[in-house]
């Protein structure tokens, strides 16, 4: 189906009509960076956008498989419960924010606040990542194959961030650990499954747990976080 001369409501309506009629493999052409495409998908359907999309593509979905043959704007896959979103290009701010499950793959670079407040699932960034990735993360896994900008994993409660390149600086209460052999094997396996080039090694960033409970001796850490 083509998006040419159609509103977002019309495009999403046609996608839902195709799904209702039994279509399970849908190619959408000329998306032209429109916002809010393929939101709230619940069915096991595969949708391919032949071009770049705008804000909030594939947000709030619970199942299904969405591919973007281009780049995506802000908030791609926000609040996703399950399913897969693959972005061949770059992603704007807040990709995979608040997701609870499934996988988001960005083959290019991701802008600021990638994976903020994640509560599960996996975010893979094949390139570099902007500032504050993993901010307030509660569960899940972020794999950054390139460099990470400042404030990574700031105020993270739980979850893990792996970085293959350099880290500008750690966020509040974030610490670096050495990933185990099984972890490295799992990372390489998932990257290979999505055809993402793996770096030679990874650093593992986790919560230092100093913000889990207030302790007066950690007052400076709390002040910085707040």
Q: Looking at the predicted structure, is the pLDDT value of residue 217 above 70? A: no
Collapsing DSSP to helix, strand or coil, 219 comes out as: helix
Tell me, what's the pLDDT at 215? 63
List helix spans (H) across the chain: 8-20, 181-193, 219-225
Tell me, what's the pLDDT at 226? 59
Residues 78 and 62: beta-carbon distance below 8 Å: no
Q: Where exactly are the structural domains of the chain?
A: 8-225
Tell me, what's the pLDDT at 211? 73
Higher-pLDDT residue of 204, 209? 204
Residue with tokens 């670096």: 176
- Mean predicted lDDT score pLDDT of the chain: 94
Tell me, what's the pLDDT at 8? 95
Q: Looking at the predicted structure, is the pLDDT value of residue 222 above 80? A: no
- Under the banding of pLDDT at 50, 70 and 90, the label for residue 219 is low
Tell me, what's the pLDDT at 209? 85
User: How would you class 61 by CB atoms within 10 Å of its CB: exposed for 0-12, middle for 13-18, buried for 19 or more?
Assistant: buried
| Over residues 5-14, mean pLDDT | 95
Half-sphere exposure (Cβ direction) of 53: Cα atoms closer than 13 Å:
34
Dump pLDDT digits (tens) for 113-157. Answer: 999 999 999 999 999 999 999 999 999 999 999 999 999 999 999
- Under the banding of pLDDT at 50, 70 and 90, the label for residue 5 is very high
Domain covering 8-225 assigned CATH 2.160.20.60 in the classification: yes
pTM: 0.93
Tell me, what's the pLDDT at 210? 78
CB atoms within 10 A of CB 180: 10
Q: Looking at the predicted structure, is the pLDDT value of residue 213 above 80? A: no
Dump pLDDT digits (tens) for 74-113. Answer: 999 999 999 999 999 999 999 999 999 999 999 999 999 9
Dump pLDDT digits (tens) for 23-67. Answer: 999 999 999 999 999 999 999 999 999 999 999 999 999 999 999
Nearest to 170 by CA among 146, 145, 147, 153: 153
């Amino acid at each position: 189906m083509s998006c040419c001369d159609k509103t977002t409501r019309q495009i999403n309506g046609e996608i839902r009509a195709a799904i209702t009629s039994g279509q399970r493999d849908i190619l959408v052409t000329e998306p032209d960076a429109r916002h809010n495409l393929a939101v709230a998908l619940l069915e096991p359907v595969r949708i391919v956008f032949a071009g770049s999309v705008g804000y909030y593509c594939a947000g709030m979905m619970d199942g299904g498989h969405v591919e973007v043959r281009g780049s995506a704007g802000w908030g791609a896959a926000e609040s996703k419960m399950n399913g897969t979103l693959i972005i061949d290009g770059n992603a704007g701010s807040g990709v995979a924010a608040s997701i609870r499950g499934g996988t988001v793959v960005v083959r290019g670079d991701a802008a600021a606040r990638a994976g903020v407040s994640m509560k599960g699932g996996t975010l893979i960034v094949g390139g570099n990542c902007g500032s504050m990735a993993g901010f307030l993360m509660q569960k899940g896994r972020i794999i950054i194959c390139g460099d990470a900008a400042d404030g990574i994993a700031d105020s993270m409660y739980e979850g893990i961030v792996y970085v293959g390149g350099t880290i500008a600086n750690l966020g509040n209460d974030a610490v670096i650990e050495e990933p185990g052999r099984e972890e490295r094997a799992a990372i390489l396996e998932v990257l290979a499954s999505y055809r993402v080039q793996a770096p030679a090694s990874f650093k593992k960033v986790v919560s230092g747990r100093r913000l889990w409970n207030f302790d007066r001796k950690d007052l400076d850490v709390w002040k910085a976080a707040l």
